[in-house]
Structure 1
Amino acid sequence: MLTQIKAACLHSMTIAWSYCIALAGALASIVDDVADALGDPGLKDQISAAIGDVKITGRILLAISVVTIIARLRTLRRKD
């Protein structure tokens, strides 16, 4: 299983980290819907107090992840 994970990340810790950031961004983007589904409207307020607007934070994390992956793929391509 570890070899499959490494292959998906192209043997790059930078890409693996970008996947983690993308996951965090996606979760932050849907926290409103999850809080409503769980019936806990205070969850959104608690998270917003900690990190600010969760939708904007999620989108920023997704953008950072995409830029990081693109930059790393460019350097991987140059080595070949």
Structure 2
Amino acid sequence: MSVATKTLHKLDVRGEICPYPQMMTKKKIEALRPGEQLEVLLDYPLSLETIPRWAENAGHKILGIEKTGDAEWRILLEKGSQ
């Protein structure tokens, strides 16, 4: 049995403040193929609201958001078909 694996790309925006994390995420995900995944590492709390909201509005899937440190998070996105 074959299990298809999705390509996972990474983007580290730690140390960046708005609007840069969202702008960098948008630029990176636009370069991906539909179905490919993007892991965004961040430490700016407002980005936990702006990136998922933008991603949903742009037709991408939010696969998960998790806290990875005292003030660090990981957002996992999947590029939509658009």
TM-score interval for Structure 1 and Structure 2 normalised by the shorter chain:
under 0.3
Is the helix fraction higher in 1 or 2? 1
TM-score using structure 2 length: 0.23
Tell me which of the two structures has the higher relative contact order, counting C-alpha pairs closer than 8 angstroms and 6 or more residues apart: 1
Q: TM-score, normalised by structure 1?
A: 0.23
